[in-house]
Structure 1
Amino acid sequence: MAKLWQKANQTTDAKIEKFTIGNDPIYDLQLARYDVLGSLAHITMLAEVGLLKKEELSPLCQELKVILASIEAGEFEIESGMEDVHSQIEYLLTKKLGDLGKKIHAGRSRNDQVLVDLKLFMRAEIQEIAEAVEKLFNLLLIKSEAHKKDLLPGYTHLQIAMPSSFGLWFGAYAESFVEDVELLEAAFRLANKNPLGSGAGYGSSFPLDRQLTTDLLGFESPHVNVVNAQLSRGKTEFYLLTAISQIASTLSKLAMDVCLYNSQNFGFIELPDSLTTGSSIMPHKKNPDVAELLRGKANKLKALPNQLHLLTSNLPSGYHREFQLTKELLMPAIEEIIDGLEITHYLVEHMKVKSDLLNHDKYDLLFSVEEVNRLVVQGIPFREAYQQVGKMIEEKQFDGSQRNLNHTHLGSIGNLGLDQIQAQKDVAYQRFGFEKVNQAIARLIAS
């Protein structure tokens, strides 16, 4: 089949064609919906500026919506010998409408076409990631409130340090995910810019209305400079993979805590049988495989921004074929982070927290700082109080049987600040503006 770029009587060696196309058709299936949406906006604009007759617009829109329906029904495919999703959709239009189908490419290049597909794709996937994070966040906040009185040893250098609580532990991860979402929102801002009209990267002599396609697709703004629109290829993916890697970093740390806390030497939590596996020779084993695999998969995701950075290093401005390979890093990563968030939700939901952990005398020294602070309140200078308690510990005279805690400041055991963490999350999610985007897309499809 002829390619969009192919001239008359031009042929390509089959081996070279296979190498250059690579796995693109596989990943392009995920872009099919967005290619149709971009085409709907583009031809609507072409009709407004007089590059497409009004009577030509209706059959093109109608047929594009037929293709969209087949995509959403899971029936769309990129046929063998077809180079990419753009070629497949234009082929279907031309097959149905003849030469009219060929008119949709006026005023755009595959460069800005794939760019808008990727921007729309990433924008939608960011919403899915954000929703998965929010679901986990909500559960962590519920768990934090439910277990605010269940004390837990706090560690520094893996040595017992000071009293903590499961309320603090769950709440810490909830707030950490809010901070990760703030990074995700930065990726969304970049994905929410319209590249259509940049063409191959240098604009067009056609009187294109770039603001119209921006509005139709619900973008926040266009990439103003057409060269910069092309510079965003790879950069937008890097922003998103950086946000994904940070969410993965939080998941990895949580998973590591679970592996430690579930072990017999710690014994802070208990995982149900559904989240563990046994040993082929040791009948007592209940291994936290889910948490271990979550940790491993999250650690793999943390490497992706560097891989993308290396892939796109030393490239001058303009389009380069290496950008095609960014899909192979980006698309599986999105699936894996959403899967990881869902598995973590299941893990947190079903773990059993053990209470009264600090009653054992091995945790007496956890309360040494409490004794120092008690002396300070009595008027003894802090450094002197520290020396007194330190001497008692050295001489085995420290009495850590007093387990009374009086932590009242914001973010401490006795004042978790969950309302403030919830408010931070609400502000972060309001900044995305998902509703505005979704309404624009719904109007475009319905028009």
Structure 2
Amino acid sequence: MKLWQKDNTEVAQRIERFTVGRDTEFDGLLARYDVQGSIAHVTMLGEVGLMTPEESATAVAALQTIAQEIEAGTFGIEPGVEDVHSQVELLLTQRIGDTGKKIHSGRSRNDQVAVDIKLFLRAQLLELRDEARTLFDLLLEQSERLKDKLLPGYTHLQVAMPSSFGLWFGAYAESLTDDLDLLATAYRLCNRNPLGSGAGYGSSFPLSRTRTTELLGFDGLHHNAVYAQMSRGKTERTVAMALAGIGATLARLSMDCCLYLSQNFGFISFPPELTTGSSIMPHKKNPDVFELIRAKGNRLQALPNELALLLTNLPSGYHRDLQLTKEILFPALDELKQCLQMAHLMLSNVEIRGGILEEEKYKYVFSVEAVNALVNQGIPFREAYRQVGNDIEAGTFGWDLSKGLHHTHEGSLGNLGTEDIRARMNEVLGAFGNRQT
């Protein structure tokens, strides 16, 4: 069944297979949202007189039954049915007769799929928000718990200055704060209603787009009917940018963990059940989880570019090219959720080695501390730098760890700014409103 098919036309099977592509695979994910959109649309049709109140109520009740079947896992797209929109309308017509044929009044598959995707992505972004928030909370907890555990900081992969696990964990917590800020922007774009824009040029029916906006819980609508269609693809690309930001943070965190776990660093370790071994080297404890998070995070960073290329030079209006946004973006949502969950599992079980900076090979990490100590005694910075540099060249440099480290400015070793980072995250979360998954 095809909503557009005429009695005297038949599409060649090869053409049908090619044009449908993987759509039915991803349409299952949209089913509950297609029914939600249909319930709102049918409710509105009854209110504006395009269906009688009785017809509208009958259709809504049948749609609610289909929604229950979707939740129970008994709904499916039958062979020969083109898409989820067709399947829902087919079921409805089978169950309530000709009334079911009225639900498409004032609607096109273009705005139907657009609203389905908005609703789907809105729900997905809330799930990602919650997963990222869970990891954020863990990172801040570890930051406070390990704030006195020192490790060397690096620039150019050369030993640079003293750092701490508190500073390191806190850095990635704050990075997630910025990532969620971008996710909130994507969420706001998803939270606008394209329904009622039809094929992209509105309708002569007296629709109430404001009413469907209220019924679907959108913050507002895409006012211009042409732009409502143009938001298709733009919405997906904005979401992809947000996913790429989180992916980049996870990839960088994972790279650090791979380095710190290696024997050359040996800063951290994990229980044996969270690492893998070698088929020939019995001593190996491989960071496969972090390597895969790194790889998946890097792949997520390609999403915006892939979508941008797909959308390049498209004129206004709907084009079948947009169908491919689903197969680019939808699998990435689950992949990112899994990466966030696995990062949380691993970092919940991380073991930290103490006394790292007491090792001889890290003594030069305190060279800046020595320079600053001389400056605090009144020696000009450049002279202090020269003196310490000469000591290093002569092999006479040393630093007494018992002196401690006295870093007090905001965001330093002794002043992590944990509560400020948490307050910033709470501010960002507020941009999502009070909506729960």
TM range (shorter): over 0.9
Contact in 1 for aligned 2:143/2:165 (Cα 8 Å): yes
Distance 1:253 1:54 in 2: 57
1:227 matches 2:216: no
Length-normalised TM-score, structure 1 = 0.96
Contact in 2 for aligned 1:176/1:250 (Cα 8 Å): yes
1:261 matches 2:263: no
Contact in 1 for aligned 2:43/2:57 (Cα 8 Å): no
Structure 2 match to 1:340 = 339
- Range that drifts further, 5-14 or 339-348: 5-14
* TM-fit CA distance, 1:405: 0.4
The code of the aligned residue for 2:84 comes to V
Structure 1 match to 2:126 = 127
Q: Deviations over 1:338-368 (max 9, x none)?
A: 0000000001011111111111121111111
Distance 2:211 2:130 in 1: 29
* TM-fit CA distance, 1:8: 2.2
Structure 2 match to 1:354 = 353
Extract unaligned runs of 5+ from structure 1: 439-447
Distance 2:101 2:133 in 1: 44
Contact in 2 for aligned 1:262/1:269 (Cα 8 Å): yes
* TM-fit CA distance, 1:434: 4.1
Structure 2 match to 1:195 = 194
Structure 1 match to 2:419 = 419
Kindly tell me the number of residue pairs found equivalent between the two proteins.
436
Distance 2:353 2:170 in 1: 17
Structure 2 match to 1:210 = 209
Distance 1:266 1:160 in 2: 11
Distance 1:74 1:381 in 2: 74
Distance 1:82 1:434 in 2: 38
How has the CA–CA distance of structure 1 residues 30 and 434 changed in structure 2, closer, same or farther, with 3 Å as cutoff?
farther
Q: Deviations over 1:292-341 (max 9, x none)?
A: 11111111111111111111111100000010010001110000000000
Structure 2 match to 1:445 = none
The code of the aligned residue for 1:238 comes to R
Structure 2 match to 1:148 = 147
1:281 matches 2:280: yes
The code of the aligned residue for 2:400 comes to S
Structure 1 match to 2:430 = 430
Distance 1:47 1:34 in 2: 20
The residue correspondences of 1:361-380 to structure 2 (distance < 5 A) are 361-380=360-379
- Range that drifts further, 218-227 or 275-284: 275-284
The code of the aligned residue for 1:313 comes to T
The code of the aligned residue for 2:236 comes to E
Contact in 2 for aligned 1:364/1:401 (Cα 8 Å): no
The code of the aligned residue for 1:34 comes to Y
Structure 2 match to 1:19 = 18
Structure 2 match to 1:381 = 380
Distance 2:384 2:410 in 1: 25
The code of the aligned residue for 1:113 comes to Q
Distance 2:287 2:80 in 1: 46
Structure 1 outlier segments of 4+, above 3 Å: none
The residue correspondences of 1:22-421 to structure 2 (distance < 5 A) are 22-402=21-401, 404-421=404-421
CA-atom RMSD in angstroms: 1.0
Contact in 1 for aligned 2:37/2:115 (Cα 8 Å): yes
* TM-fit CA distance, 1:201: 0.2
The code of the aligned residue for 1:433 comes to G
The code of the aligned residue for 1:318 comes to G
- Range that drifts further, 336-345 or 278-287: 278-287
Length-normalised TM-score, structure 2 = 0.98
Structure 2 match to 1:443 = none
Q: Deviations over 1:10-42 (max 9, x none)?
A: 111111111111110110000000000000111
3-state SS in 2 of match to 1:52:
coil
Contact in 2 for aligned 1:361/1:401 (Cα 8 Å): no
The code of the aligned residue for 1:102 comes to K
Distance 2:386 2:43 in 1: 78
Distance 2:322 2:398 in 1: 65
Q: Deviations over 1:210-267 (max 9, x none)?
A: 1111111111110011111111111100011111011011000011011000000000
Distance 1:367 1:28 in 2: 59
* TM-fit CA distance, 1:402: 3.5
Contact in 2 for aligned 1:150/1:165 (Cα 8 Å): yes
Q: Deviations over 1:269-306 (max 9, x none)?
A: 01111221111111111111111111111111111111
3-state SS in 2 of match to 1:40:
helix
Structure 2 match to 1:441 = none
- Range that drifts further, 149-158 or 351-360: 351-360
Contact in 1 for aligned 2:260/2:268 (Cα 8 Å): yes
Distance 1:398 1:356 in 2: 20
The code of the aligned residue for 2:6 comes to K
Distance 1:44 1:283 in 2: 66
3-state SS in 1 of match to 2:232:
coil
3-state SS in 1 of match to 2:431:
helix
Distance 1:281 1:26 in 2: 41
Q: Deviations over 1:101-140 (max 9, x none)?
A: 0111000100000000000000000000000000000111
Extract unaligned runs of 5+ from structure 2: none
Contact in 1 for aligned 2:39/2:60 (Cα 8 Å): yes
* TM-fit CA distance, 1:400: 2.2
3-state SS in 2 of match to 1:78:
coil
The code of the aligned residue for 1:413 comes to L
Contact in 1 for aligned 2:147/2:167 (Cα 8 Å): yes
Distance 1:376 1:219 in 2: 59
